[in-house]
Amino acid sequence: MSYELNRKLAARREPLPTTAEIDQVTADIIRGAFETVCFEAATYLGRAASSPIINQSNERNAAIVDAHGRLAMGAIGTPQLTFVNQMETRWGLMNQERYDWGPGDVFVANDPDHGGGHLPDYNVYGPVYDEKGELICIQTLQAHQGDTGGKDPGGFTLEATDVFTEGVIYPCLKLVHRGELRMDVFDFVVRNNRFATFAGDIAAMIGGVQHAVKMLEDLLGKWGAETVKAAINHSIDHTEKRMHEEVAKWPDGTYEGTVLIDHDTAGTKDIKVHVACTVKGDQLTVDLTGTDDRQDLIGVWNTFANSRSYVMTQVITHMDPTIVRNEGMFNAVDIVIPEGCIAQPPPNKPAALGSFHPACEITEAVCLALSQVAPERAQPQLYKIGMPNAVIGFDDNGMMWMDQGVDCRSMDVSAIKGIDGWGSCPNSLGNLILSEAEDAESRFPILNISREMTTDGGGAGQWRGAPGSLNVKQVLKPTSAMAWMVSADHPLRGMCGGDDAIPYSNHFEVGAPGERKIEHTAQDLLPEGAVIAYQHGGGAGFGLPLLRDPESVKEDVLDEYVSPEAARMKYGVVLTGSLDDYTLAVDHAATEALRAEMSAMA
């Protein structure tokens, strides 16, 4: 049933029936109003939620889905969340009578096998009706929750072989009926979560949806349902047209990308993601045939909806950024995901860690493929982190706390054609704000000792990747810690001749007799005072390093992004003077000779 359901959920939807004609200006005004509503919903949640992962880090997304299940507006949130929640909402739409939909209702869903991502991504949504009682659209609000009520805190169980180990599953659960909170259901959902902050989070999600629904009802009252439906149709059609126009600029052909994951959580090596992007006229097909389908793998299963989302997250970065994010993007691209592979698993496979890997490898493979046709926009939308170091303990009242390891860090920011990698987090995290040291230390018994970029931590290239950072922290009380380490054997790939980024690495109990390197997974007890150090891989390079401007290499050495040794060995740049007293200078004649020698040996 799972594969059949996926086909139904992903099937193309028809336009909304409407009697209204609409012009471009009116359609854009209503589209802008939709974007404002999404901004209001997401901001409401960010300000009202209780847990730092939402009210500090902003890991949330607001979107509007129309009555046919089409994404009408995906405006606010981390990019990969923008394209996933319409699938989960479609399951509810297909079962409106079964779940007794009506005005004032609010639902929650997180089911990986019914259009969802992984369990921690809760999707709260409410239908919007016009004055005649016709369903026009659905306001959705999605956020990552710190726990899911499963075997392990946070919902990330390293040895999970099915989704039931990871937590409580909600295909479609009504939280509010005709405007009245269902206290029995609300208490049930809250009771199946370890964190005291969760009640505030889910209440904030309900409030955000209700606030946005009221705004949409006012919009319908102002413009009329027929005009709003026509505006939705117009916006989706326009996006589809613009997508085809972009693809038509690319040369016909099939462009491939293959990326490997070091291992699954059981240690099985070299999990493969393969993508073939075929351009034929104005049509783009993204085909994941050849992606790993070994059924004994654990921990590396990405849901079908998530896989579609991560494909689209990468595809759109290769196109004009002014194209409106909506269902027209999916209408314009054929996405082929073989049934049974790790990007479309059989029912009930674990899904929590799959949202890290292979999700990120899907985007990376698409980027590698499309870098051959649109290199000027080839920026990987990923985070190759495996999973962050999650540190868990109990306070004096017996309440569980969890530092999820979403610290501010420099990682995975690759160069693109013409621009060096920069910034402190990967583009895929979008407007996610990684947590500040002061905020984390005020909430948890941890001390952030240092966060500093690593010299030579970015891939060399004509344009250089951003250096990765070494994040070091100390636990002030006995705690347990979890980690899944990847991207050591297969770090972020360079493009068009650029070097790969440095590999990730992770050490527990640094400086103590028990110091150990985490090779693939850890679920360890740490004593009071233990130090952990996570080396994040930097961004990859773009273009041949020997083509980099020698003066730019000198500036990188002065900034300590690049060592003097790497300037010579990687870039073929001969420097005179001293870094210590900032008297460095490029010996242009010697550099030209060295580069000629290195090119001849390549």
Q: Which of 216, 213, 234, 212 is nearest to 18 (CA)?
A: 234
CB 408 within 8 A of CB 388: no
Q: CB-based burial of residue 266 (10 Å sphere; 0-12 exposed, 13-18 middle, 19+ buried)?
A: middle
**How much is the pLDDT for 252?**
98
**How much is the pLDDT for 399?**
81
Query: Is omega for the bond preceding 358 within 30 degrees of 0, making it cis?
Result: yes
Distance CA 143, CA 121 (A): 5
CB 237 within 8 A of CB 91: no
**How much is the pLDDT for 1?**
56
Q: Which of 41, 43, 85 is nearest to 65 (CA)?
A: 85
Task: Report the 10 Å Cβ neighbour count for 602.
Answer: 8
Q: Which amino acid is at 516?
A: R
User: Can you list the positions of beta strands (E) in 201-280?
Assistant: 253-263, 269-280
**How much is the pLDDT for 440?**
84
Distance CA 336, CA 534 (A): 36
CB 338 within 8 A of CB 344: yes
Distance CA 435, CA 407 (A): 5
Distance CA 315, CA 329 (A): 9
**How much is the pLDDT for 196?**
85
Distance CA 405, CA 390 (A): 5
CB 124 within 8 A of CB 209: yes
Helix, strand or coil, per DSSP, at residue 473: strand
- Two tokens, residue 555: 């500036």
Helix, strand or coil, per DSSP, at residue 245: helix
For each successive 10 residues of the chain (602 residues), what is the average pLDDT?
Answer: 89 97 96 96 91 78 96 82 88 95 98 93 97 97 91 89 95 97 97 91 97 98 98 98 98 98 96 98 98 96 96 95 95 98 96 94 97 93 88 86 83 93 76 76 92 95 96 95 95 95 96 95 95 95 98 97 97 96 96 96 84
| DSSP state letter for 542 | B
**How much is the pLDDT for 55?**
77
Distance CA 85, CA 144 (A): 12
Give the length of the chain: 602
Distance CA 376, CA 473 (A): 38
Residues 6+ positions from 507 with CB-CB distance below 8 Å: 515, 516, 517, 518, 532, 533
Distance CA 131, CA 150 (A): 42
CB 467 within 8 A of CB 455: yes
**How much is the pLDDT for 431?**
66
Q: Which amino acid is at 394?
A: F
